[in-house]
C-alpha cells in the first residue's frame, strides 16, 4: 500500500495546490484554501499528450474548487507529464504522428495506445484514490466523482467500471471499440460530451459509446464543431453536474 507524500504546496486566489506522489506516480491536489471541513473529491483524467497541470485541468479545477468547494486531484498518465516515456510510448507516438502527416485515420492508433495506457493507469488511480481517502479532509466515505475527456475517458471508463467508490462521472470524445463493453458495466449517473463534426471520431461511434453506458441517468451533450472545439461552457456544465449529484450549491457565478 503506497502512501501519499506531499512534495510542494502553494496557494493563490483561494486555492491551495499541493503536488504529491503515490509510489512513482506524480499528482496534484487542488483544495479550497479556507476549507476546514470534509468535501467531495473529483478525480480528473487529462487528455493525450497533456499532463496533470495543463491549463484545461487547472481551469476545470478552479471552477470545481471555487464554485463548489470540492477537492480535485489529477495524476500524470503513464508516459505523460513528469513521467518517462517507454520505448513503446515512443513507437506509438511516432506512429500517430506518421498517420496524422499522411492523412490516415488516427482512431485505430489512439484506441490501441490508450487501451495500453489504461491497463497501466487503472491500478495507479486505484492506489491514488486509496491514498487520498486517508487524508482527513477527504475521508473514506465522502462522494467521489471522475471527470475525463479524450484519453481521460479511455482511462476513466475501465477505472470507473471496476471502482464502486465513484458515484458520478463526466466522460466524452472517444471511440466505442474498446470502451463500449466496459461502459456497459457502468450504472452511475454520467454526462457525456461529443463533437457533432468530429473529424477523428465518426458521429455514429460517439453516439454508440454514449448508448453503451448502462446508467439510468445519462446525458449526452453534442456540440457542433470539430474534435478540438469542445466549448468551454461544457466545463461549467460538468461543475453543475457534480454539484447536483453531490448536493453542493454553486456559489460562484458561472
Q: Which three cell numbers stand for residue 16?
A: 491551495
CA dist., res. 195 & res. 229, Å (int): 8
* Interface with a copy of itself, residue 250, by CB under 8 A: yes
Tell me which of 211, 227, 228, 246 binds a copy of itself, using CB under 8 A.
Answer: 211
Rounded least distance, CB 227 to a copy of itself, Å? 16
Determine the interface stretch with a copy of itself among 18-26, 51-59, 115-123, 233-241 (rule: CB under 8 A).
Answer: 233-241
Rounded least distance, CB 207 to a copy of itself, Å? 8
Q: How far from the centroid of its chain's Cα atoms is residue 8's Cα? A: 23
Determine the interface stretch with a copy of itself among 96-104, 154-162, 163-171, 232-240 (rule: CB under 8 A).
Answer: 232-240
* Interface with a copy of itself, residue 254, by CB under 8 A: yes
Nearest to 147 by CA among 138, 139, 155: 155
Rounded least distance, CB 221 to a copy of itself, Å? 6
Q: Spell 86-99 as b/e; 16+ CB within 10 A means b.
A: eeebeebbebbeeb
Tell me which of 98, 100, 196, 226 binds a copy of itself, using CB under 8 A.
Answer: 196
* Interface with a copy of itself, residue 222, by CB under 8 A: yes
With beta carbons less than 8 A apart as the criterion, state whether 61 and 73 touch. no
Burial class, 238, CB count within 10 angstroms (exposed 0-12 / middle 13-18 / buried 19+): buried
Q: Which residues in this chain contact a copy of itself in the complex, by CB under 8 A?
A: 196, 207, 210-211, 215-224, 231, 233, 236-237, 240, 244, 249-251, 253-254
Amino acid at each position: 500500500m503506497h502512501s501519499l507524500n506531499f512534495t510542494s504546496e502553494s496557494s493563490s486566489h483561494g486555492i491551495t495546490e499541493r503536488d504529491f506522489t503515490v509510489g512513482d506516480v506524480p499528482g496534484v491536489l487542488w483544495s479550497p484554501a479556507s476549507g476546514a471541513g470534509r468535501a467531495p473529491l473529483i478525480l480528473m483524467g487529462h487528455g493525450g499528450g497533456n499532463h496533470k497541470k495543463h491549463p484545461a485541468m487547472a481551469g476545470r479545477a478552479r471552477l470545481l474548487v471555487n464554485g463548489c468547494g470540492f477537492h480535485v486531484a489529477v495524476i500524470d498518465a503513464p508516459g505523460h507529464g513528469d513521467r518517462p516515456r517507454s520505448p513503446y510510448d515512443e513507437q506509438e507516438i511516432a506512429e500517430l504522428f506518421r498517420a496524422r502527416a499522411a492523412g490516415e485515420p488516427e482512431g485505430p492508433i489512439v484506441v490501441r495506445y490508450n487501451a495500453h495506457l489504461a491497463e497501466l493507469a487503472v491500478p495507479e488511480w486505484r492506489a491514488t484514490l486509496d491514498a487520498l481517502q486517508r487524508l482527513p479532509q477527504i475521508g473514506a466515505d465522502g462522494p467521489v466523482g471522475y471527470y475525463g475527456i479524450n484519453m481521460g475517458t479511455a482511462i476513466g471508463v475501465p477505472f470507473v467500471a471496476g471502482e464502486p467508490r465513484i458515484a458520478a462521472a463526466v466522460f466524452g470524445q472517444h471511440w466505442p471499440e474498446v470502451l463500449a463493453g466496459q461502459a456497459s458495466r457502468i450504472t452511475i449517473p454520467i454526462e457525456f460530451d461529443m463533437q457533432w463534426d468530429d473529424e477523428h471520431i465518426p458521429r455514429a461511434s460517439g453516439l454508440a459509446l454514449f448508448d453503451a453506458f448502462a446508467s439510468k441517468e445519462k446525458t449526452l451533450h453534442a456540440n457542433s464543431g470539430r474534435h478540438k472545439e469542445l466549448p468551454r461552457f461544457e466545463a461549467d456544465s460538468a461543475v453543475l453536474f457534480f454539484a447536483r449529484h453531490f448536493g453542493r450549491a454553486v456559489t460562484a457565478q458561472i
